[in-house]
Chains A and B, each alone.
Chain A
């Protein structure tokens, strides 16, 4: 309670904070309206979970109503919800429009467009398989990404540091690196004992290239005066690499890690579709094969959430490690 007062005092120049939250009431009424439309209008296309969908919309509307009344007591959480007000109003509108276009009026051709309750049904009924697919994908992605990122980091530092290593690795990097990792797919699947290890290799390869190149350019671009200073203070070669070159190159390394993450997503999906028979890519393929478009959209949404969360995690890590920098890009 007192927290709310303090944040109100120390906050923005909004002097008199309104007791109530009008946008919240608007959002709540749109949610409740959508719930009513969903529950009361008859379905043109019969899908089981209409009432559950209406209930969820109603519950969200009710929660927003409470938030609208209680917002002066919610502190910083309340402020975050307030910020999302316009989105929370437009989302139920979009949901209602989607509901009308699919389940209620059947304007969009089936089976290519799923209705909201169709998606809900997938989540409620097929969640074990979806969950397992997510775990498979995550495991493949993270193990491949970790190997690729570690190898890329080491290769990049070595390239930037040692002329001899640069002499041998640079031409290989230039020839092999720009090749899309997916081009290795046919070879990888017969060269590796299992499709799982082949896919891990491909994800690692896709990650490796951008991480290597950017780490290398980061290390090569380190201000030479940094080395002079450390050398006059008695630094060894190891110290120069680990305590000067690497920290100075870290901002670039994170750009490489970010690009590598993007590359690893696309390789992951292709590898799962063509090789491993597990994971979200495989689920998508499978759903398409059975013309289960609801499952496909459900899996796409989960995949989007997974990828976005991983990028968010990476940026959070970067912000923590590079706290000394000012003014970095926000995700």
Chain B
């Protein structure tokens, strides 16, 4: 919606992502903690991929590499064939924690990217569209401490979408939403992705959410994260949770995560 309706110049809508043998390790006290273990993954332009894995396995770490916030300790991470070495507004990360700026109103928080890139004056109407999209119309002048956790997360989503990214990295963006808002935001995400053609990588704990949204689901092992399985969800949108195909895929995914009942 935002990006599709707003992009004025035609360009490649989605970014191709290639992760080649990427490893990451952190130094904690004197020992090193391996977090990613030679992860390799290719994502086609315009694809929607979900990343599933146990807590603490390294999913957020992988998204930080793709956003260009950190460099891998081994291997390479490529966007459109070019090594990712620094952050860029064409690759936007929606953080697990909304981390809004408490001194800015909702509108000013959503404007952040346009302001940082010096586009705010010409494209300020996009801010309102993004706020409307996440259903926060009327809260433009509220400060973050006046918002609920779910509203803050929606502001964080609007703050990312307003930049018209070509790669959208979502780190459990719907985690704090109530189930109703969550359902409608999932539908919004799918529509946004379909209209804009951007590439989307979604980290989630929720197997059902992964199957409803993504074309491919990548399953990670516990830390250090390795890719243990890949499920292709070849179903048309909009999907329904009781689709028998999805139900059997869910059983398979839960089994891969060691949660089979």
A230 touches B145 (CB 8 A): no
User: Which of B68, B88, B102: most chain A Cβ within 10 A?
Assistant: B102
Known: A225-B97, A239-B116. A232 touches B102 (CB 8 A): no
B115 touches A229 (CB 8 A): no
Interface 1/0s, chain A 75-95, versus B by CB < 8 A? Answer: 000000000000000000000
Asked whether A59 is an interface residue with its Cβ less than 8 Å from the other chain, the reply is: no
Asked whether B201 is an interface residue with its Cβ less than 8 Å from the other chain, the reply is: no
B88 touches A234 (CB 8 A): yes
B161, chain A: closest CB distance, angstroms: 11
* Chain B residues whose C-beta falls within 8 Å of the C-beta of A226 in the assembled complex: 99, 101
The total of chain A residues at the interface (CB under 8 A) is 22
A232 touches B89 (CB 8 A): yes
Q: How far is the CA of A325 from the CA of B88 in the complex (A)?
A: 31
Query: Which parts of B16-42 form the interface with A (CB within 8 Å)?
Result: none
Interface 1/0s, chain B 52-84, versus A by CB < 8 A? Answer: 000000000000000111000000000000000
Query: Which parts of A299-331 form the interface with B (CB within 8 Å)?
Result: 322, 324-326
Asked whether B163 is an interface residue with its Cβ less than 8 Å from the other chain, the reply is: yes
Q: How far is the CA of A324 from the CA of B69 in the complex (A)?
A: 29
* Chain A residues whose C-beta falls within 8 Å of the C-beta of B89 in the assembled complex: 232-234
A56, chain B: closest CB distance, angstroms: 47
B190, chain A: closest CB distance, angstroms: 23
Question: Taking CB as reference atom, which chain A residue is nearest B97?
Answer: A225
A234 touches B113 (CB 8 A): yes
Q: How far is the CA of A141 from the CA of B68 in the complex (A)?
A: 49
Question: Taking CB as reference atom, which chain A residue is nearest B93?
Answer: A232
A247 touches B103 (CB 8 A): yes
User: Which of A231, A236, A247: most chain B Cβ within 10 A?
Assistant: A231
B91 touches A244 (CB 8 A): no
Q: Is the interface of A mostly helix, strand, loop or mixed?
A: helix
B145 touches A324 (CB 8 A): yes
Asked whether B139 is an interface residue with its Cβ less than 8 Å from the other chain, the reply is: no
Asked whether B92 is an interface residue with its Cβ less than 8 Å from the other chain, the reply is: yes
A153, chain B: closest CB distance, angstroms: 17
Asked whether A250 is an interface residue with its Cβ less than 8 Å from the other chain, the reply is: yes
Asked whether A266 is an interface residue with its Cβ less than 8 Å from the other chain, the reply is: no
* Chain B residues whose C-beta falls within 8 Å of the C-beta of A60 in the assembled complex: none
B112 touches A230 (CB 8 A): yes
* Chain B residues whose C-beta falls within 8 Å of the C-beta of A230 in the assembled complex: 112, 116
What's the count of A-B pairs with C-beta under 8 Å?
64
Q: How far is the CA of A236 from the CA of B67 in the complex (A)?
A: 16
B87 touches A231 (CB 8 A): yes
Asked whether B179 is an interface residue with its Cβ less than 8 Å from the other chain, the reply is: no
Question: Taking CB as reference atom, which chain B residue is nearest A229?
Answer: B99
Q: Which of A232, A236, A239, A244 contacts B101 (CB 8 A)?
A: A244
* Chain B residues whose C-beta falls within 8 Å of the C-beta of A247 in the assembled complex: 101, 103-104
Asked whether B8 is an interface residue with its Cβ less than 8 Å from the other chain, the reply is: no
Asked whether A248 is an interface residue with its Cβ less than 8 Å from the other chain, the reply is: yes
A251, chain B: closest CB distance, angstroms: 9
Asked whether A288 is an interface residue with its Cβ less than 8 Å from the other chain, the reply is: no
A179, chain B: closest CB distance, angstroms: 34
Asked whether A46 is an interface residue with its Cβ less than 8 Å from the other chain, the reply is: no
Q: How far is the CA of A288 from the CA of B6 in the complex (A)?
A: 75
B99 touches A232 (CB 8 A): no
Q: Which of A223, A225, A235, A248 contacts B116 (CB 8 A)?
A: A235
Q: Which of A225, A232, A248, A324 contacts B87 (CB 8 A)?
A: A232
Asked whether B9 is an interface residue with its Cβ less than 8 Å from the other chain, the reply is: no
Interface 1/0s, chain B 103-114, versus A by CB < 8 A? Answer: 111000000110
A324 touches B117 (CB 8 A): no
A16, chain B: closest CB distance, angstroms: 35
* Chain B residues whose C-beta falls within 8 Å of the C-beta of A243 in the assembled complex: 115-116
Asked whether A228 is an interface residue with its Cβ less than 8 Å from the other chain, the reply is: yes
B17, chain A: closest CB distance, angstroms: 15
B95 touches A225 (CB 8 A): yes
Q: List 24 A-B contacts (CB under 8 A).
A: A225-B97, A226-B101, A228-B87, A228-B95, A230-B116, A231-B69, A232-B67, A232-B88, A232-B89, A232-B91, A233-B89, A233-B117, A234-B87, A234-B117, A236-B116, A239-B115, A243-B115, A243-B116, A244-B101, A247-B104, A322-B103, A324-B143, A324-B145, A325-B102
Given A231-B87, A233-B116, A247-B104, 13 more pairs with CB closer than 8 A: A225-B97, A226-B101, A228-B69, A228-B87, A228-B95, A232-B87, A232-B88, A234-B88, A239-B115, A243-B116, A247-B103, A248-B103, A250-B103
Interface residues of B (CB under 8 A from A): 67-69, 87-89, 91-93, 95, 97, 99, 101-105, 112-113, 115-117, 143, 145, 159, 163
- The 7 A-B pairs of least Cβ separation, nearest first, read A233-B113, A234-B89, A235-B116, A231-B87, A234-B117, A232-B87, A225-B99
